[in-house]
Amino acid sequence: MKNKSVRGLALLMCLVLMMSVLVACNGDKTSEESTSSTASGNGSWSQGIPTDMVELTKTELIILVKEALGDAAADFTGDLSSLSEEQLNKVKDLASSKGYAIDENDDGSIRISKSVPLVALSDDEVIELAGKVLGDDIANFTGNLADLSEEQLEKIKDEAEKEGYYVVIANDGTVSIKKKPTATTEEISKVVEDVLGENVSEFSGNTAELAPEKQSELSSELGNINADQEDVKGFWESVFGSEESPSVNTTVTTTAATTTTTTKSKAPTTPRVTTTEKQPTVHEATTKETTVLSTQKVSSVAAEFIVNVSNVTASFSDCVATDDGGFVAVGATLDKDSAALIAKIDKKGNIDWIDEIKGNNMLAYECVEVLDDGSIIACGYSAVTDLPDLVGGYACSDTIDGLIVKYSKRGDRKWVKTMGGAGDDSIYAIEEAPDGSIYVGGKTSSRDGTFSKITAADKLRFSAFIVKYADSDFDTIIDEGCKAYSTSFSCETTDLSCADNGDLFATIFAIKADGDFATLAAGTSGAGKTIVIKYNSSGAYIWSQLLWGSAQTKLTSILATNDGGCILGGSYTSKSNPGVGTFDGVYNGGNSGTSDGVVIKLRSDGKVYWKEMFNGFEQDVIEDIIETESGFAVVGYSTSVNRDFDTMDNKGDFDIFVYTISPLGKKQAMTSLGGSNSDKAFAACLLEDGSVAVAGNTCSDDGSFTGLSPAGSKTQAAANVAKFNLAVIE
């Protein structure tokens, strides 16, 4: 899961405690936060982001120039040198706002390029392409372009561009031919299934047989899949055989209308369905839950119980379901006896057991995972020098180390271990892979110990890391699964999620997307970006996607979807209306500078499939997203009482919300918990009976939290959990 609430409590006491930890453990290192050094990105754990920067085609360039200059570019034919300096500057400004890279050729001319997710042509495809222009001259050609003469290569490059392929030239001059991935049948089927609803079983694939209103509705949904015209065109051609009209024959069927979405909660294999006989299917190999797209919809969300846990000045940061219908929540107490906190809650809201690890300084749990054998792994960070039950790892002397603790399902502490080195190291995410290996992610400033293979510049404050352990003993590191990324400022891995086939998805939050992300972020704006990276089960890079806007984009929750893509939840702020980048054309829902919630679905090729905004006039933050039997649920907190939060009866400051959405992001039902002070939810999980558990904190002793003990107050937070039942209708 992800880093959350322990660092997010807006309480004076918490801030004082955290500052004391930083002073004790960091010395004078805090000044390094403002360093402008650029990461080298050349270590075995610092591999950078391989991206394909391709020059705009003449057609794309003409479209760009006409968009920038309007009628003044009516006669533009694709030659940028024909523009005046003023016109060229306007084109550059527009290109930059779209995330394009602007470079100068050796002859002084301007080159505009864009980063495109591409896949290499297979050897057979390259051979077929070469055969069209070279014929028998390459009878023994095996597909390796390096074997061709310069003249032959030029002919193939020309033909590739005619075929709509991309010719990519690496820094070393190596030439490769690539193409855009096409939309998958599963992605198309999701749209058709969601729009046609109960009629999908009768859909023959011929849209001309549909009622006009259904054709129009389907057209609208497909047209909104992506703002990229070429993507929309590709979907039209894939579904209808034409980009012009939805009322033509198509060979696409809807037999693949099941979307399988990996969840953080492993317990629910047969979720409760209130008013339907349909049951989710189960991936037998890994018992990961899957959801069948249907006409099921959440009509209402209602709290079954609300419980405050342990001491005041405490918060939960993560939670995960257990196989007995309950769940485990982790976090920290933040009073003078600060401790890493874990609690097991049963399905009725009773506290089964609690454990606190205390020492001579700050400890906190940030994430938790329940393994297939029922044991529990809680991770976070430790600044203490007297950790109890420590059996391995680096013992903190004047730094922060990653904390890993294993519990039995009954709450018995099995062992305590640390990871790290001479710098500061924190764990914010943990994920068990289908083969039993374990990933952890977070941030580190160490270049020794666990992170001895990171060779980025020592002056860099924090690097984002992913470390893969062979199993739940956390003794053996699998090098192929370890990654690290560095920028000129701090960056951190915020969440991890595995698909059933072992593919790993990671979210990284970077204040400045330079260094290892420099080419990926060329031409972007905003302070704070989210980078999504996909690897296969062997640790090989597949693709990356940058999510950005004019201000901060922070999506800290990710779920792998077994269609090859993923779904993310988080929030963003904007300095412009409408927005730019990922939020191009999107208007900020509130006052300038306020945060809005957002959920984004990425396709199997990493491109944005759909995005849904959660806007009020005030502050709206999504902290976690989970799968439900009818789609997804997002949790967070808001101060709004209008627009998407018009049913929230805000009683003061932040209130907790739970919002359900369909598999395609359509909003369904919302409920909230609140009192007169700040109340926040940082994590959620799906329980065995189909209900949703939420974990966070409350500073209120009234409203939804009346009569709870220990009670929250304006200056102290109580760790809080709640369970919500979802009323599902057909």
User: pLDDT tens-digit profile of 147-179?
Assistant: 888 888 888 888 887 887 878 776 667 888 888
Query: Rounded CA gap, 710 and 370, in Å?
Result: 27
The pLDDT tens digits of the residues spanning 647-661 come to: 888 888 999 999 999
Cβ proximity of 688 and 323 under 8 Å: yes
695 vs 320, 350, 443, 568, CA distance in Å?
10, 14, 23, 19
Q: Which two tokens stand for residue 257?
A: 């209308």
Q: Which two tokens stand for residue 519?
A: 């080419």
Q: How confident is residue 263, by pLDDT bands cut at 50, 70 and 90?
A: very low
Cα three-residue angle 592-598-601, rounded to 5 degrees: 145
Q: Which two tokens stand for residue 241?
A: 């055989």
Q: Report the phi/psi class of residue 576: left, alpha or beta, with left for phi > 0 and alpha for psi in -120 to 50.
A: beta
Top pLDDT among 704 and 335 is at: 704
Cα three-residue angle 142-147-152, rounded to 5 degrees: 100
The full set of domain ranges for the chain reads 5-44+295-729, 185-258
DSSP letters along 631-698, please?
Answer: EEEEEEEE---SGGGTT----SS-EEEEEEE-TT--EEEEEEE--SS-EEEEEEEE-TTS-EEEEEEE
Residue 350 has pLDDT above 50, yes or no: yes
Residue 574 has pLDDT above 50, yes or no: yes
Query: Rounded CA gap, 500 and 435, in Å?
Result: 10
520 vs 50, 460, 517, 621, 661, CA distance in Å?
8, 20, 5, 26, 31
Query: Rounded CA gap, 507 and 530, in Å?
Result: 7
Looking at 1.10.10.10, 3.30.870.10, 3.40.50.970, 2.130.10.10, the CATH number of the domain 5-44+295-729 comes to 2.130.10.10
Q: How confident is residue 393, by pLDDT bands cut at 50, 70 and 90?
A: low
Going through 346-469 in order, the beta strands assigned E by DSSP cover: 351-358, 363-370, 376-382, 390-392, 401-407, 413-419, 425-432, 438-444, 463-469
Q: Which residues touch 108 (CB under 8 Å, ≥6 apart)?
A: none
Lowest-confidence segment of 147-156, 242-251, 639-648 by average pLDDT: 242-251
Mean pLDDT of 353-369: 94
**What is residue 286's predicted lDDT score, i.e. its pLDDT?**
28
Q: Specify the pairing of strand 390-392 against strand 413-419.
A: parallel
The pTM of the full predicted model, rounded to 2 decimals, is 0.70
Q: Which two tokens stand for residue 363?
A: 């400890």
